[in-house]
Structure 1
Amino acid sequence: MNHKIIQSFWSKPFFDEQSSAEEHRLKGGWPSEKYNYLSWAFSCLQLRKHYNDVELFTDERGKFLLIDELGLPYTNVSTELDNLKDYRSDLWAIGKIYTYSLQNEPFVHIDGDAFLWECLPVELFEEPLIAQNIENEPIMYGELMEKINAKFTDIPEPLRNVDITKGHIYAINAGIIGGSDLEFFKTYTKYVFDFISKNAEHLFWINSGLFNCVYEQLLFYNLAIKNHIKIGYLFPKVTTIPEYTKTFRLVGHKTSYVHTFGVNKKSKFSYMFLDYYMRTLYPEYYNRINRLTETGINWGGVDSFKHSASSRIMETEPLKLYYDNFIVDFINIESPYMTTVFRLSDRTQIIGKEEEISLNMEFTKEDFANFWNNYGQATRIQITGAEGLKVELIPGVYKIILDQFDGKRALREVINNLIGFFLGQQEEIINLMRVVTESGDNNILKSNLESAIKEKAYEFIIDEVIVEDKLLV
């Protein structure tokens, strides 16, 4: 079944001069307007590389920016999002919701900070509903729903039975969203608009930014479950957003899809990779965006709205953070380039400290396997310390000490493998590292990488612990 590929851009949040939200003021969460423009351009251009038709739903200001100024090659443009002028700008997902409600044929909506290197899997389009992946967020959604249940006067029926006491609360990630069940989308979007309008005076009680996730992602999932409608996922085997989709570092090796949502946009590696891809793959658009951010866009004539563009980049991150960001994925993620096998010793110890409570737990190998299976993949566990004080802990922040691994050379081999992998990468990666570190000397790169990998290995290796005879990378 053919699905229409669409994107949406509601401009009001981007032009709200009173807001300090990361998504606002034309930055869209990126460190400057330039990267927001590059993001929209790269997302659109990659979609057009793989799909003949890609439609944009926006408003007059959005059309002026993306079409008239950036010249993006959408095949059709609607300005029906002008109908949302009366909605608060912090309800930034409402533009997407309204776009879903307008569809009268099967569709897939892809965010402007999501990028494809291949067509979406054909089998995905066979499902009535489509989403990026399922999420398990018991803390965030639990806290939000607790406040909503207490303060809101009208809650959509699908959300009334969400059990916030459970260790799991499922939702979808809407980096991509769509499907062929148009009746579902009519019902779903009506629920959303009723949810907002009937509780407008109560929105100040909650984090309005996170509320967008409730009405877009949590409501979608629970309505589908309530009506026994199957959701097809781009990443069907995960219950958290895959690490390898958050930045550009593993494109071509681990993934052909990247969704740089939230804080991932602030990583220098994210926006420099974005800059590199646009500069090398789409130089005409890249140069146009550079000119626009240098000279400023003349917004006169668009509702007489004037906005002075700024290409100022955020304050420089410490050099150490660059290395940290660069290696985290490769330590966390199973990679074909990391072949060293870690095996736990007969006794295993987890050490750490949270507030005034120390965690020092020792296990046999078998007991540790049971502990990790029960708690290691959970968001938090709870322990009781001195005087009965209970503290919730995140297991992933604690360290497994090096002596727990059989083989004295295990960590050294991993470090050498990682250094060899980084320094042997394709040209754009090694060039990027040289730009970021301001050094063309491979010995300096190697030394700094070795230091960073040693430090991060202890911190992150527990996140991929699989005991007994399996790989630990």
Structure 2
Amino acid sequence: MRIIQSAWTCNKPSLLTTSLGWLSPEYNLMAWTLSCLQLKKYYPELILYCDSVSAKMLVDTLKLPYSEVICNLDSLNIYHPQLWALPKILSYSQQEEPFLHVDGDVFIWKEFEDSLLQGGLIAQNMEAATDYYENIMISLESSLNYFPDEILNERKTKKPILAYNAGIFGGNDISFFKEYTEKAFDFVAKNILHLSRINVSNFNIFFEQYLFYCLAKKHNKKVKVLLPDTIGDNQYRGFGDFGKVPYEKDYLHLLGSYKRNDFVCKQMADRLRQDYPQYYYRIIDLFKTNKLPLYKDCYKIENTTENYLLQRYKKLINSDLKNKKESSAKLLNFDFKRNLKKELGDFKLNKNQFIDFEIFNSKINSIVKKDFVLFSKDYLYARDCKGNSYFQSLFENSEEVYSKVLVSDEDYRIIESRYNWSSFIEKQKVKDEGEIVVLEESETNFSTLIIPECDQNRFSLVYVDSLDLLILGILKRRKTVGELIEELKNYFDTKELKNNFKEFEELIFGRIRLGLYAKSIKYKQL
């Protein structure tokens, strides 16, 4: 079966200066790269449909190994740039033999099952509407002047909206796709003068995924799905868990807000660096050469060429850096730029909040200037590069995990505050439009880890609760995972443990993962 992807830059002149829904431009390019390389690992025939801007970047510059490139999506440049599903629709329409389209934010770690690929119609999963989808549809119905009969008839049933997620879309029923894509373009064309009345981005869901469902239902077509569960439209949990691949998850899809999530994007980038360092540093070199900012910049060093960065990475990943401190002559090369006040957004502080935040911020500044500025960039960078492999090393074998050794890192600091500033700031970054983030207050204080980083911010913040602190305290001395679990049993009710031991164990494994992510816990290889 032909595996295809489609890339359209939405009328933007360069992929170096536009993020296309991602947190930043480099993450967009890293996602495309990782998606392509993982697909190519299992499917030698991998075809890209693209416009000229995408072709120049993905093929000519990044040299992604597509077996065929069909550059004919410039014809879409007459359309609204937020109609991002149109290049997919156009690509579907050009297929004359069985195919599977895989989005550029989808990543696989195994082949798709033959039973799936034999389907007449194929999709990622069935999607059920919450109030979110329903409200969008009501808005469209009041603003647009044309809907296909298949959608009108389905709406008359008064049934909840169902759709098929198009993370993967395709099948063997080519005649269906010919009819479907013609109706999709017709749906858009007949409403082209009314797009100013709607949120155009939201329209994509309905002319691609909902129309597909309605037409398949009309013709009584069976749709084979990769994932058997029906998922709510805004309830895609676990689709960005890079720490669980490939031993627990073999399919990820960074749909929706995952693209704007700082934590998920960094994990995705780290996975690219771990598995395909040459491509990762090619992207870094590209931004540095063009003097363009990186969201996470760990490369304020004299030489930032692809080859130099790659060789530096290989050296650091295999080294045992014992010298944590930087020589004073090098300290001026690294600026401290993070502004927590700006990260609060437009949140208005009352008197108590203002005082607590000022104390919280001053403690951080003191720690950074006194301690963190002295850390060697090579030491911190090597820590990050090595840490990305800890998850698989620890958890890929469920029986051996209990004998693995953990220890608390020595480099973090703990700050106490009346308000939960670190969680509030992180939630502000990924909140949906109109969403209100509540600032938590406590009579006893919240604990925040401040961790030294090698990027331009110089630190990261992570909220931890009493269980996290207990684990960090126990791990001040090296412990196996089994020893840690045995010691933690003393802090839980014996009867509850007996009845819910599996849940207890999963809770502790989850906290270990959080510690590894936060760099407050290290895996020690024997």
TM-score, with length taken from structure 1: 0.64
- Tell me which residue corresponds to 1:433: 518
Aligned residue in 2 for 1:76: 68
- In 2, the alpha carbon distance for the partners of 1:408 and 1:57 equals 56
| Cα drift, residue 197 of structure 1 | 1.2
Q: Measured at CA, do residues 70 and 39 of structure 1 come closer, stay the same or move farther in structure 2, by a change above 3 Å?
A: same
Please tell me whether residue 283 in structure 1 is matched to residue 368 in structure 2. no
d(CA) in 2 for partners of 1:105, 1:273: 36
For 2:9, which of 8, 11, 18 is the aligned residue?
A: 11
Residue 311 (str. 1) matches residue 281 (str. 2): no
Aligned pairs (5 A) from 1:38-57:
38-57=30-49
Query: Separation in 2 of the partners of 1:279 and 1:407?
Result: 45
- Supply the RMSD in Å over aligned alpha carbons: 3.2
Structure of higher RCO (CA pairs closer than 8 Å, 6+ residues apart): 1
The structural deviation recorded for 1:82 is 1.2
| Secondary structure in 1 matching 2:124 | strand
1:256 aligns to what? 250
Match of 1:324 in 2: none
Q: 1:191 to 1:68 in 2, by over 3 A?
A: same
2:99 corresponds to: 107
Shift of 1:422: 4.2
Q: Which residue of 2 aligns with 1:461?
A: none
**Shift, 1:126, TM fit:** 1.6
The structure-2 alpha-carbon separation of the partners of 1:88 and 1:281, relative to structure 1 and needing over 3 Å to count, comes to same
CA contact (8 A) 1:138 1:170 kept: no
Q: 1:103 to 1:409 in 2, by over 3 A?
A: same
- Distance in 2, matches of 1:8 and 1:311, equals 25
SS of 1:85's partner is: helix
What is the correspondence of 1:35-434 to structure 2 with a 5 Å cutoff? 35-163=27-155, 166=158, 168-240=160-232, 242-296=236-290, 309-313=292-296, 417-418=505-506, 420-422=508-510, 431-434=516-519
Cα contact 2:516–2:522 (8 A) shared by 1: no
**Structure 1 residue 161: Cα displacement:** 1.8
Deviates more, 1:155-164 or 1:281-290: 155-164
Greater alpha carbon shift after TM alignment, 203-212 vs 139-148? 139-148
Question: Cα distance, 1:12 vs. partner?
Answer: 2.2
Distance 2:17 2:177 in 1: 30
Separation in structure 2 between the aligned mates of residue 114 and residue 263 of structure 1, nearest angstrom:
14
Q: What displacement does 1:124 show?
A: 0.5
Measure, in 2, the Cα distance between the counterparts of 1:421 and 1:271.
22
Alpha-carbon shift at residue 7 of structure 1 (Å): 0.4
**Normalization by structure 2: what TM-score?**
0.58
Provide the aligned length of Structure 1 versus Structure 2: 333
AA of the residue aligned to 1:153: N
Query: CA, structure 1 residues 88+421, in 2 after alignment: closer, same or farther (shift >3 Å)?
Result: same
Rounded Cα–Cα distance in structure 2 between residues aligned with 1:224 and 1:418: 40
Identify if the C-alpha distance between structure 1 residues 249 and 411 changes in structure 2 by more than 3 Å, giving closer, same or farther: farther
- Whole-angstrom CA distance in 2 between matches of 1:295 and 1:16: 15
Residues 51, 38 of structure 1: alpha-carbon distance in 2 compared, 3 angstrom cutoff: same
Give ranges in structure 2 of 5+ residues lacking alignment: 297-337, 345-359, 361-397, 400-492
Offset, 1:265: 2.2
What percentage of aligned pairs have identical amino acids?
35
Change (3 A) 1:255 1:28: same
Task: For 1:90 and 1:104, locate their aligned partners in 2 and report how far apart those are by CA, in whole Å.
Answer: 28
Runs of 4+ in 1 over 6 A off after TM superposition: 314-319, 410-415
| Residue 276 to residue 411, structure 1, CA distance change in 2 (3 Å) | farther
When residues 171 and 161 of structure 1 are mapped into structure 2, their CA distance, relative to the original with a 3 A threshold, is: same
SS at match of 1:40: helix
